[in-house]
Chain A
Amino acid sequence: MSKPGYTIAVTGLNAIDSPGPGVSVIRALREAASFEVKIIGLSYEALEPGIYMHQLVDKTYQVPYPSAGTEALLSRLEYIHSKETLDLIIPNFDAELFPYIRIEGKLSSLGIKTFLPEMEQFEERHKMNLPEFGEKYGFNVPDSINIFQSAELNKVNEKFSFPVLVKGKYYDAYVAYNMDQTMSYYNKITAKWGLPVVIQEFVHGAEFNVTGLGDGFGNTISCVPMRKQYITDKGKAWGGITISDPRIIELTHQFLGKTKWRGGFELELMKDKENQFYILEINPRIPAWIYLAVGAGQNIPEALVNMAMGKDVKPFDSYETGKMFIRYAWDMIVELNEFQQISMNGEL
């Protein structure tokens, strides 16, 4: 029996030092055993490396930034759909999730599938709402406060002892060891990501990450924990290894069981000196290191596509422990006319 063929649009083609997950997701989809794919890249900037990886991406279209609003995004996607007849879109940025969840129904009416968390699930796990999330579901989370204006920064001294984490709404996190640094990072983050800025208790310990896939009914379809072995100055994993701590796997089952999360996700965890796990962040999408999960035996993007297509997907029951990934940088040679095409026409 021949495999079905799907046209799948993927964002997050910025395979840079703080990489978007798109290129890793596409590698996983290219290796899917259960279907063939045509990959449509959705980019924001003309220099996103994935645009020029023609062995992975068949065609790329630029799309408007999430800040342009859902109407602009939908209009562009309708155009792309008219050209490519998309079966599915996999958005890979935190900031994209909100508009994509909002237009999910409209995309569905066009025949374009997604497999995203519900708006309530997406909102309640937001780092601004993490303390309430922890209390509601019974998870250990660090204490945090949201700062909406610099005058409120005096709360930091009242509530926390240094160091503290200063976090942007969607991206960026800095460790501040005193009030001056807190103020400096606050200004840096607000200039880039706006308000609020989240001040989070710093939990000392060892950091772990887990990625997986929930079916939306409380079941774990996939779960692969990883320990970062090599961390960049931006805190991103440049190398990592799959691990088998049963408490992390149990925590993931609880997360999915209690929230009934639908879609891919990443939990950022910290194990403190008393061996207690804290959830530092819940990222509502597939992480950039997803290809490690594929290498360890769980092709999460493939499973996500099959679930979006309404197929019966059996939960993965194993993965290989001790499997590593090591990221590397690669200089591609790009012809000027390709750069010109994507810059001028928004398509390549």
Chain B
Amino acid sequence: MKIKKNIAISDSGFIFNPETGESYTANILAVKMLDLIKDGKERDEIFNNIMEDYSVELETLERDYNDFLSMLQRFQLVQDHE
């Protein structure tokens, strides 16, 4: 999955889609996930990176990550499916 190139994501978590004019706010963890996805990291790399900083079960993380990806697709912030 790739985040659309023109999507603007600020350090504070403000996301702006210039095609639609929609804007969203993301929390710190969501921004971290977005940055990792934007950097082209694979799923396992993303999980390892997050589990280094956060105390979370892999199962929970997988579920939340999948929810997050669904949301990105629904908001048309990604180019194509993983």
Instruction: Give residues in A with beta carbon < 8 Å to B.
Output: 206, 208, 226-227, 229, 240-246, 321-322
A321 to B22, CA, bound (A): 12
Contact assessment for A243 and B20 in the assembled complex, using a CB-CB cutoff below 8 Å: yes
Contacts of B18 in A (CB 8 A): 243-244, 321-322
- A-B contacts at CB below 8 angstroms, number: 24
Classify the interface of chain B: helix, strand, loop or mixed.
loop
Contact assessment for B20 and A245 in the assembled complex, using a CB-CB cutoff below 8 Å: yes
Q: How far is the CB of A254 from chain B (nearest CB, A)?
A: 18
Given A226-B21, A244-B19, A322-B18, 5 additional A-B pairs, CB 8 A: A208-B21, A243-B21, A244-B6, A245-B19, A322-B8
Residue of A nearest to B76 (CB): A275
A240 to B61, CA, bound (A): 37
A321 to B7, CA, bound (A): 11
Contacts of B16 in A (CB 8 A): 322
Contacts of B6 in A (CB 8 A): 244
Residue of A nearest to B21 (CB): A227
Contacts of B21 in A (CB 8 A): 208, 226-227, 229, 240-243
Interface centre among B6, B19, B21, B22 (most CB of A within 10 A): B21
A229 to B19, CA, bound (A): 14
Q: How far is the CB of B32 from chain A (nearest CB, A)?
A: 23
Q: How far is the CB of A211 from chain B (nearest CB, A)?
A: 15
Q: How far is the CB of B50 from chain A (nearest CB, A)?
A: 29
Q: How far is the CB of A321 from chain B (nearest CB, A)?
A: 4
Contacts of B19 in A (CB 8 A): 243-246
Taken residue by residue from 45 to 81, chain B's Cβ proximity to chain A (1 for < 8 Å, 0 otherwise) reads as: 0000000000000000000000000000000000000
Residue of B nearest to A248 (CB): B19
A287 to B6, CA, bound (A): 28
In the complex, chain B residues 13-41 whose Cβ is within 8 Å of any chain A Cβ: 16, 18-22
5 closest pairs, A vs B, by CB? A227-B21, A243-B21, A321-B18, A244-B18, A245-B19
Contacts of A242 in B (CB 8 A): 21
